[in-house]
């Protein structure tokens, strides 16, 4: 699992495999290559390394955290 973290440091989603979920555990899209697409397959954001950006690159959406086990209780 990887967290999707805003520029302010707040987690607002997470990836399990290539599937993107909201913090309410609702599916919201998936990672396809260098892009995040919504459930309908529309390109939403660009991914460069661990950074997540708007499609035109003018806005930083956030970043993907390091991989961590998703079976631990915190």
| pLDDT tens profile 31-58 | 999 999 999 999 999 999 999 999 998 9
Q: Which residues span the domain enclosing 58?
A: 2-63
The span from the CA of 53 to the CA of 60, in Å, is 5
In a domain, 27, yes or no: yes
In a domain, 29, yes or no: yes
**Is the distance from CB of 3 to CB of 64 less than 8 angstroms?**
yes
In a domain, 72, yes or no: no
In a domain, 71, yes or no: no
pTM as predicted: 0.87
Q: Residue 41 has which token pair?
A: 């397959």
The span from the CA of 56 to the CA of 54, in Å, is 5
In a domain, 74, yes or no: no
In a domain, 23, yes or no: yes
Give the total number of structural domains in the chain. Answer: 1
In a domain, 10, yes or no: yes
pLDDT interval class at 69 (50, 70, 90): confident
In a domain, 69, yes or no: no
Q: What's the pLDDT at 73?
A: 55
| Cα 61–Cα 63–Cα 64 angle in degrees, nearest 5 | 135
Q: What's the pLDDT at 59?
A: 96
């Amino acid at each position: 699992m990887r967290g999707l973290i805003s520029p302010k440091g707040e987690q607002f989603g997470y990836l399990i495999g290539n599937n993107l979920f909201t913090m309410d555990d609702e599916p919201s899209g998936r990672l396809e290559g260098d892009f995040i697409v919504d459930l309908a397959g529309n390109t939403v954001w660009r991914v460069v390394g661990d950074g997540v950006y708007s499609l035109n690159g003018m806005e930083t959406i956030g970043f993907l955290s390091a991989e961590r086990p998703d079976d631990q209780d915190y």
